[in-house]
Amino acid sequence: MAQAVNPGGTAEGSPGAGRWAVLAVLCASLLLVAMDATILNVALPSLIDDLRPSAIEQLWIIDVYGLVLGGLLVTTGAVGDRYGRKRLFIVGIVIFGLASVVAATAETTWQLIGGRVLLGIGGAMVMPSTLSLIRNVFTDARERALAIGIWAAVAGAGAAIGPLVGGVLVEEYGWAAAFWVNVPVVVVTVVAGLWLLPEFKDAGHGPLDRVGAVLSVVGIVALAWGIKHVAKGSPGAVDIVVLAAGIAALWLFARRQLTLADPLLDVRLFKNRTFTAAALVILMAMLAIGAALFLVSLWLQYVHGYSPSQAGLRTLPAALAMLIGALLAPWAMERAGVRTVMAVGLSGVVAGFLVLALSPEPTTYGYVAAVLVLLGLGDGMAITTASSVLVSSVPAERAGQAGAVSETNYELGVGLGVALLGSIHGAVYASHMAGQPELARESIGGAYELATGEGGGAGEAVLAAGRAAFDSALTTTAFVSVGIVGAVTLLVVWLVPGGLRASAGHH
């Protein structure tokens, strides 16, 4: 049985009045970790001007955070269950603060990538701790559904307001400010966390499975990296080998976990169709919003010429809609059931991509705003419902595992969204730019750089071609997204039994 070992904290079974203050501390840290997944989307142009990273280095700057974070979550969730969730949370947020300083002071691309790796390690320690502590502190099922709704709203809104916060900071103080902003919040969170958070750990756990930990990290990182490179088209032998190695490592990990009395991750949970569906819903919802925010941020800046803060402001409808969707979900689950709310949420995402796919070219902001609202509402409802299902599917002492599954899919979703849909968009963009200079074919940023350097009619022609190509590629990518999310929506409806109410406690 998980128990509070901090006498001043909130013991399992006797949630004190301080539980909402605990939620506030957890949400503040979660906001930082979630924002860092997208805050660089708008800072990228200013960062490119300063550090001159290659196209591959640019993708690594954006993606390495999610890859590292996603790769470590299963292990950190298990560490928290065994050695204390508060301890893991505090160490993680301190690492996150130090990593922010490393990234903010970067003078080379590789120092920045190193900082992002450390941010991923810190974030991986914070994220499963937040959800598992909520599971322990909120013992009433209805209260827990509301707390998870707030948690999901903050997680989603963090990803959505990242571009706005990043934009304002980048314009005023340069791209390094996107990292400096973390430091004061980290200091306040550490102090408040030491004071308010209860410590939970389970005395019944065996030692940590180190071989399993290595297999899970290698498997998830190699899988994500492989998919990212294979998705770009014409993959090399190395890409195929890495992808195969990732699949093999995860297969070995699953086999190993089935033989252990105290596994890192109880893979038998996935025999529960609803649990599997919930994990899939989080992956899809974050894949959609991650890709959309990445591409829309570039579209606003390069195609429409908005400044970073103006671009960030125009992505705000996604954050507001996600907040509304997340807070509606507990109420909707009570009345309509888990399957209906998940299906409605994912259908909102499909509708958003359909609006984007069918909007006339050149696409105007009005259509994009409608897309962001539909994606946000759908995501908020889907993620909250799915997270509630995952957390209430496991006993309290294994809450770290549910948190890890939820967060792994959350982070992999954002990373794979940028990698898979970003790569499809890049390939279609490049095909439309055939005959243009190589720099312009690489990316819309390259076309912009070339046009600015050349100036005059020739520069304008390259930029006009780049903008048209980016718009056309957006339409194609939206159609692909409709197909992917639509297929998963049907699968979820098939997997989840009707009449299930998550707040009733699903064991």
Question: What distance in Å separates the CA atoms of residue 478 and residue 292, rounded to the nearest whole number?
Answer: 9
- Identify which of 343, 375, 344 has the alpha carbon closest to the alpha carbon of residue 357: 375
Phi and psi, residue 266, nearest 5°: -75, 95
Task: Check the CA dihedral 239-250-421-65 and report its sign.
Answer: negative
What residues have CB less than 8 Å from 348, skipping those under 6 apart? 325, 374, 375, 377, 378, 379, 381, 382
Report whether pLDDT(26) > 70: yes
pLDDT one-digit tens code per residue, 244-285: 999 999 999 999 999 988 888 888 888 888 889 999 999 999
- Count of residues making up the chain: 507
pLDDT at 204: 67
Phi and psi, residue 434, nearest 5°: -55, 135
Report whether pLDDT(505) > 50: no
pLDDT at 2: 44
What residues have CB less than 8 Å from 234, skipping those under 6 apart? none
pLDDT one-digit tens code per residue, 324-371: 998 899 889 888 989 999 999 999 999 999 999 998 877 888 999 999
* Matching CATH number, 13-209+260-504, of 3.40.50.261, 1.20.1250.20, 3.40.640.10, 3.90.950.20: 1.20.1250.20
Report whether pLDDT(12) > 60: no
Ranges of each domain in the chain: 13-209+260-504, 210-259
Report whether pLDDT(186) > 90: yes
Question: What distance in Å separates the CA atoms of residue 92 and residue 83, rounded to the nearest whole number?
Answer: 13
Q: Which pTM was predicted?
A: 0.81
pLDDT at 17: 59
Confidence of residue 5 (pLDDT cuts 50, 70, 90): very low
**Helix, coil or strand: residue 9:** coil
Question: What distance in Å separates the CA atoms of residue 429 and residue 424, rounded to the nearest whole number?
Answer: 8
Percent of the chain with pLDDT over 90: 33
Confidence of residue 231 (pLDDT cuts 50, 70, 90): low
